[in-house]
Amino acid sequence: MTSYCNAKCGACARNLNGGATVPGLKLQHFDTDVWHELAEQTAGSLQKLSLNGNWGDPGMHPQLISMLETWLTFHDDCDIVIHTNGGMHKPNWWEELADTLKNHRHRVIFSVDGIGKDHELYRRNTSYNRVIENLKAFNSAGGNSEWIMTLWDHNYKDVDKAKALATMLGCYWFQTRRNNSGDICPIRDDKGRELYTLTAKEANKHGKFESVSLPNLKFVNKFSKRKDFEDQTISKCPWYNQFEVQIDPYHRVWPCCNISIYGHIEGWPRNPTIDQSKILYDDFNDLTKHNIYDILDHEWYNDTLSDAIENAKYAVCRNNCDVHKY
C-alpha cells in the first residue's frame, strides 16, 4: 500500500539496522484510482486481501480506510488481513478502521514486541503506550485483532504476561515468532553509529513459539462466507499453488514477496539471482499501464518464470522455497 513507515525496526529491509532509510527507496503511496480499478476488475473473484509491508506499513497510507471501503464494495466476501506496527494515528482512527471492517471477515495483526519499553527496543520510533491505546480502541469498536510478538532475549520470558494482557485488551489471537535476523541484530542511529545490539540466542533456543486463539474469540467467523480452496500442487512455487501474488506500492505485480523485494530500490540490492534485466526495466507488470489479467497472462509469468521455477534457475526460489531441479 505504501513505502512510508513511522517505525524503524532493526531488521527491516527499508532501513539500515534501525537507522537511516535505505538509500534509493522511493517513497510512494498506492494510487487510489489504480486501487479502484483493481478492485473493480477483480470484483468477487478474490478470497483474501493481505496488506503487509515489504517497504512500509499499510497504516501509513492516508487513504487506507476509504480504500478498504472501495475494496469491500467490490469484494464483500473477501477476507482482509492487515499487518501493522499500530503506532501511527490516534485511537479514533483505529475506531473508524474497526467500524469499516467489523461486518466483514478480517484480522488486524499488531506487532507488539514485549511489555513497556522492551517493545520499543526493536520497534524503534513507536511508542508502546500509543500502540496499546490504539489496539484497545480498535478492539472496543468491534475490530478483530491479533497480538504478534517477535521474541528476543530481553522479552521471551514475558510471553505469558503479554498473552494475558492481549486477552484483557480484547484481542482474539496471540502469536509469538522468531526474528528474521538470527541470534544478533545490531541497532544503529541515522548516521550508522551502533547504539546497541539485540540478541536472540536464548530466545531462539528456549522461546515458546505459538499461534493461539484467545478466549475472547467467540463469533469471529460469523461473517465468513469464504470457501477454502485446496492448494494446487502442480507447481514448485508455493505462492502459485496458493493462488497468491504480491503487489507493491509502485503498482507492480510480482509472483511473491521474495521477488518483489528486488524490484524497486535502484542500485540495491543488486541481486544476480533473478532475471532483473527483464523485471526492472520492463513495465509489463505495472498496473498503471496494464490490467491485472493481462499482466498475469504475460510471457514473463507464463514462460520465463515458469521455466525458471521448473528448472530451479533462480537462487531466490532455491533459497526461499527450497526449489530444486528434480
The three three-digit cell numbers of residue 92, written as one number: 479514533
Residue with cell 485488551: 169
Rounded Cα gap, residues 246 and 255, in angstroms? 6
Are the CB atoms for 262 and 24 separated by under 8 Å? no
Report the C-alpha gap between 58 and 249 in whole angstroms: 10
Select from 9, 68, 132, 151 the one that contacts ligand SF4 (CB under 6 A).
Answer: 9
Cα separations (Å) of 295 from 44, 96, 298, 306?
19, 34, 5, 14
Pair 65, 97: CB distance under 8 Å: yes
How far apart are alpha carbons 275 and 270 in whole angstroms?
11
Place of cell 537462487: 315
Query: How many residues touch ligand SF4 (CB under 6 A)?
Result: 23
- Whichever of 53 and 143 has its CB closer to ligand SF4, that residue is 53
**In contact, 81 and 109? CB cutoff 8 Å:** yes
Query: Of the candidates 97, 255, 264, 279, which one interacts with ligand SF4 according to CB under 6 A?
Result: 255
Residue number with CB closer to ligand SF4 (56 or 114): 56
* Choice from 258, 262, 264, 285 touching ligand SF4 (CB under 6 A): 258
Binding pattern for the stretch 13-32 against ligand SF4, x by CB under 6 A and - elsewhere: -x------------------
Residue closer to ligand SF4 (CB basis): 111 or 144: 111
Identity of the residue, 82 or 162, whose beta carbon is nearer to ligand SF4 in the bound complex: 82
- Residue 98 C-alpha cell reads as 474497526
Please tell me whether residue 256 adopts helix, strand or coil conformation.
coil
Nearest CB to ligand SF4, comparing residues 77 and 275: 275
The reply to whether 143 sits near ligand SF4 by the rule CB under 6 A is no
Closest residue by Cα to residue 57 from 88, 20, 15: 88
Binds ligand SF4 by CB under 6 A, chosen from 38, 64, 67, 259: 259
134 binds ligand SF4 (CB under 6 A): no
Among 53, 86, 207, 249, binds ligand SF4 (CB under 6 A): 53
Residue 245 in the binding site for ligand SF4 (CB under 6 A): no
Binding pattern for the stretch 69-108 against ligand SF4, x by CB under 6 A and - elsewhere: ----------------x-----------------------
Closer to ligand SF4 at the Cβ: 59 or 207? 59
- Binding range to ligand SF4, per CB under 6 A, among 6-14, 204-212, 213-221, 222-230: 6-14
Regarding 8 and contact with ligand SF4 (CB under 6 A), the answer is: yes
Q: What is the DSSP letter of 265?
A: B
Stretch that binds ligand SF4, among 50-58, 170-178, 185-193, 282-290 (CB under 6 A): 50-58
Nearer Cβ to ligand SF4 (9/72): 9
DSSP H helices, the chain, are 32-41, 64-74, 91-101, 117-122, 128-140, 159-169, 201-206, 238-241, 257-260, 276-281, 292-296, 299, 306-310, 315-321
Task: Calculate ∠ Cα 8-9-10, nearest 5°.
Answer: 115
Contacts of 277 (CB under 8 A, 6+ apart): none
Beta carbon nearer to ligand SF4, 106 or 124 = 124
At its nearest, how many Å lie between ligand SF4 and the CB of residue 203?
Answer: 18
Interaction of residue 12 with ligand SF4, rule CB under 6 A: yes
> Which residues form the interface with ligand SF4 (CB under 6 A)?
5, 7-9, 12, 14, 53, 56-57, 85, 237-239, 255-256, 258-259, 309, 316-317, 320-321, 323
